Amino acid sequence: MGSEFVTLSLTPLLIGIFAAVACALPGNFLLLRKQALIGDAISHVALPGIVVAFLLTGAISTWPMMLGAAGAAVVAVVMIEAIRRLGRIEPGAAMGVVFTTLFAAGVLLLEQSDTSSVHLDVEHALYGNLESLIWLDGTGWGSLLDPQALAYLPVELPRMAATLVVVAGFIALFWRPLKIATFDESFARTIGMRTDLLGLALVITAAIAAVAAFDAVGSIIVIAMFICPPAAARMMTNRLELQIAWSVAFATLSAIIGYVLAGYGPLWIGMGDAVSAAGMIATISGVILAIAAMFGPCRGRAGAPSGV
Does 76 sit near other proteins (CB under 8 A)?
Answer: no
> From CA 76, how far away is CA 206, in angstroms rounded?
14
Q: Are 108 and 197 in contact (CB under 8 A)?
A: no
Does 89 sit near other proteins (CB under 8 A)?
Answer: yes
Of 18, 54, 214, 226, which one interacts with other proteins (CB under 8 A)? 226
Which DSSP symbol is given to 143?
A: G
Of 3, 61, 62, 112, which one interacts with other proteins (CB under 8 A)? 112
Of 103, 170, 214, 250, which one interacts with other proteins (CB under 8 A)? 103
Centroid of chain to Cα 83: 26
> From CA 186, how far away is CA 190, in angstroms rounded?
6
Q: How far is CA 77 from CA 23, 59, 133, 201, 276, in A?
A: 18, 27, 31, 12, 30
Q: Which among 10, 43, 15 has a CA at the least distance from the CA of 163?
A: 15
Q: Are 230 and 54 in contact (CB under 8 A)?
A: no
Residues numbered 267-286 forming contacts with other proteins, rule: CB under 8 A: 271-276, 278-283, 285-286
Does 120 sit near other proteins (CB under 8 A)?
Answer: no
Does 176 sit near other proteins (CB under 8 A)?
Answer: no
Of 213, 236, 262, 263, which one interacts with other proteins (CB under 8 A)? 262
Map residue 278 onto helix, strand or coil: helix
Does 100 sit near other proteins (CB under 8 A)?
Answer: yes
The 4-43 site mask, x for binding other proteins (CB under 8 A), equals ---------------------------x--xxxx-xx---
Q: Which among 308, 278, 234, 268 has a CA at the least distance from the CA of 16?
A: 278
**Residues that bind other proteins in the complex, under the rule CB under 8 A:** 31, 34-37, 39-40, 44, 83, 86-90, 92-97, 100-101, 103-105, 107-108, 111-112, 122-123, 126-127, 220-221, 223-224, 226-228, 231, 234-235, 262, 266, 271-276, 278-283, 285-286, 289, 293, 296, 298-301, 303
